Amino acid sequence: GGSYTVGKGDSACSIARRHGISCEALLAANGLAKSDLIFPGQTLTVPGVAAPGTTEQQGPASESVETVTYTVVSGDSACRIAARFQVSCRRLITDNQLGADALIRPGQSLAIAGVRAELARSYALPTQAATPAAPTATQKSNADAAWPKMADTSGDRSGSDLSGVSPLDRPIDLSVQRSAVDGRTLYRINVEPEETLGHYSDWLRLGGVESIRALNGFDASQVLASGDALLLPVTDAAHQDAFERRREEYHQVLVEEFKENFEVTGSEEYKIELGDSLWALAREFELPIWVITRYNPKLRSGPPRAGMSITIPRIRSRQG
């Protein structure tokens, strides 16, 4: 199906009517209940609508969903987990009887219902198919010293010549980092908001996420966060170039779709408070996480920290 970026004033049913489908079909495709809230900047799957650049529908009109069992890790919150699996936070809390405070603990198992089948498969346990050998502990240790630091490479490259350019239009470094360790070339990226293992598999034309999981020693409970370092099973320079091109195109589409639906009317300074996370900030200010990190490149390399001052853009829907 296609995708739609939620605008201010939108409801699930109004979006469904606009695309000529039932409200129930849209809710099911996104794992939502009628009482669930949607927010500006959120991307919804619209079943039965051809994706941009395609000439025919891909798959059935109503996408199947599955239930995923997830093991909580340190630093998780219920809503952060829900965001990763693109489901309703309220539904996750209710289904798992977490109570009003939604408290969870590392090692706890959660049942996440309504996960799109494609996304659920990307979190499935790795198969026994042949995958590139994972680097040894020694190789990883040696590589750590060889990699460029994220804090140095994730800036927006916005020198004085870009001072008048919107942060949304400034280039960001999406290149693959390479490091030669013990006669072997390792390829690594830092995870950006809105990216998943499924994206990386598609951009590398792998046909599945198993080789990425194996290379990084991930199991089904691993959830990516913005700024995380991730090894990639890249085979050669041409493979790397193709991956970087597809990744750049994806983020260009994110920017263009956002600009089509919203305009930035100004900005404000906000001081990070104890307990703030990127997800919490996105919910509070009704902004996609990637927009917040574009305006604050330092957040691409690590989580917000109490006392940090960041810039929050003010936006207005172009749809009235």
How confident is the model over 20-37, as pLDDT tens digits? 777 888 888 877 777 667
Helix locations, 232-273, DSSP H:
237-261
3-class DSSP state for residue 93? helix
Token output for 196: 């998943």
Give the 3-state secondary structure of residue 185: strand
Residues 21 and 51: their CA atoms lie apart, in Å, by 15
User: What is the rounded distance in angstroms from the CA atom of residue 181 to the CA atom of residue 54?
Assistant: 42
Digit-coded pLDDT (tens) for 292-311:
999 999 998 888 899 999 99
How buried is 202 (Cβ within 10 angstroms: 0-12 exposed, 13-18 middle, 19+ buried)?
middle
- Element housing 2 (H / E): strand 2-5
Q: Are 27 and 2 in contact (CB under 8 A)?
A: no
CA distances from residue 240 to 13, 105, 217 in whole angstroms, order as listed: 42, 38, 21
Given a contact cutoff of 8 angstroms between Cβ atoms, the answer to whether 155 and 297 are in contact is yes
In the structure encoding, which two tokens stand for residue 302, read together? 């690590």
Beta bridge partners of 313: 267
pTM over 0.75, yes/no? no
Q: What domains appear along the chain, each with residue ranges and CATH number?
A: 2-46 (3.10.350.10), 65-122 (3.10.350.10), 137-257 (no CATH), 260-317 (3.10.350.10)
For the chain, report the end-to-end CA distance as a whole number of angstroms.
26
Give the CB-side neighbour count of residue 163, counting CA atoms within 13 A: 3
Backbone dihedral angles phi then psi of residue 83, each to the nearest 5 degrees: -65, -40
Helix (H) / strand (E) element for 285: namely helix 278-285
Strand partners of residue 66: 115
Using CA atoms, how far apart are residues 294 and 310, in angstroms rounded to an integer? 11
Q: How far apart are CA 64 and CA 246, in angstroms?
A: 26
The pLDDT, as a whole number, for residue 22 is 79
DSSP code string of 24-52? HHHHHHTT--TT----TT-EEEETTSPPT
| Token representation of residue 167 | 């942060």
Beta carbons of 5 and 41 less than 8 angstroms apart: yes
Per-residue pLDDT for the chain (320 aa), expressed as one digit of tens each? 567 777 766 778 878 777 777 788 888 887 777 766 777 777 788 876 544 443 333 333 445 778 888 887 766 677 777 777 777 777 888 888 887 767 788 778 888 888 877 777 766 433 333 445 555 555 555 555 555 544 333 344 434 455 678 899 888 889 999 888 778 889 999 999 888 888 899 999 998 889 999 999 888 777 788 888 899 999 999 999 999 999 999 898 888 888 888 999 999 999 999 888 888 898 889 899 999 999 999 998 888 899 999 999 999 888 76
32 contacts 12 by C-beta, under 8 angstroms? yes
